[in-house]
Amino acid sequence: MNNTPNLCIALDLPTRDENLTLCKDLAKNNLNDIYLKVGLRSFIRDGSAFLEELQKLGFKIFLDLKLYDIPNTMLDALSEILKLKVDIITIHSSSGRRALSEIANFLKKVTNPPLIFAVTALTSFSDEEWREIYNQKINLSALNFAKITSECGINGVVCSVFESKVIKENFNNILTLTPGIRPCESDFIDSNLDSTNKGILKDSLQDSSQIDLYDAKDDQKRISSLDFAMKQKADFIVVGRPIYKSTNPISITKKILNKLEPKEAK
């Protein structure tokens, strides 16, 4: 079996009701064996009651609060988060070695702890903006953050898909979680088909409305197809707009999950 990424859908719709409608639709179609990424806006507005509703629908929760503070305050926040029984939480790796180690040690004593991911470099930073603060190239900083994160015993890092493979190759057992994934046509063409059949399928995908691909002219700069994310060995991928802005979120989610399904090794 190959390792394939887990899907996290970013619940970034403007209102609680819109997010919930999407989730109920997914659950109705038995598409609930996935992670829902609940970020600051939704959590601040909708609180833990919203998380409970999602959990009742059978989803796993990725609570993306990106904690960054002094170690003691982070541990206090973490103790509160544990009561929510979520599955993934995020912190900033720049909170430093002491905070990361104390958090990792604290979680070792917890039964069924959530997975914890440390953000390396936020993908919204340009190299220049990054350099102004850290006086280093952004990708070197990302690697350095991944090194510290791994040494401290944190489960994984949030990174750009372009850094995933090198981080996994350099730091043992570290998991990667990558946003900015944009499914594209070639993701859904079976690589076992011969070239004639591929051509026919490609034409039919273009002609028909059975596949509704999001046109990625948005703020994400470092985007990747599903195929590339798999080649980069991402363990978790985050997909937001390509699903919730699709005219048929169920269909595109099914296609993504089908693509991500573990296939027998040849």
What are the catalytic residues? 66
Among candidate residues 223, 235, 233, 260, the one with its CA nearest the CA of residue 165: 233
Rounded Cα distance between 173 and 167, Å, is: 10
- Contact call for residue 240 and ligand C5P (CB under 6 A): yes
Going by the DSSP 8-state scheme, the letter that residue 116 receives in this structure is E
Whose Cβ is closer to ligand C5P: residue 62's or residue 188's?
62
Residue 253 contacts residue 31 (beta carbons within 8 Å)? yes
Q: Which stretch binds ligand C5P (CB under 6 A): 15-23, 93-101, 196-204, 239-247?
A: 239-247
Residue range at the interface with ligand C5P (CB under 6 A); choices 71-79, 97-105, 131-139, 237-245: 237-245
Q: Per CB under 6 A, which region of 19-27, 91-99, 147-155, 238-246 contacts ligand C5P? A: 238-246
**Per CB under 6 A, 142 contacts ligand C5P:** no
Site track for ligand C5P across 179-198, x = CB under 6 A:
xx------------------
Q: How far apart are CA 134 and CA 259, in angstroms?
A: 38
Q: How far is CA 50 from CA 12, 18, 67, 86, 240, in A?
A: 14, 12, 20, 12, 18
Q: Is 99 left (phi over 0), alpha (psi -120 to 50) or beta?
A: alpha
Quick check: 216 and 240 in contact, CB under 8 A? no
Q: Three-state SS for 154? A: coil
Say whether residue 65 binds ligand C5P (CB under 6 A). no
Minimum distance of ligand C5P from residue 56's CB (angstroms): 23
Which residue in the shown chain puts its C-beta closest to ligand C5P? 240
Residues within window 67-106 making contact with ligand C5P, judged by CB under 6 A = none
In this complex, which beta carbon is closest to ligand C5P, that of residue 114 or of residue 180?
180
DSSP, res 6: E
Which class for 216: exposed (0-12), middle (13-18), buried (19 or more C-beta within 10 A)?
middle
Task: Output 37 or 168, the one with its CB closest to ligand C5P.
Answer: 37
Query: Are 72 and 47 a contacting pair, CB within 8 Å?
Result: no
Q: Which stretch binds ligand C5P (CB under 6 A): 21-29, 203-211, 235-243, 257-265?
A: 235-243
Which residues would be at the binding site for ligand C5P (CB under 6 A)? 10, 12, 37, 39, 122-123, 158, 179-180, 220, 238-241
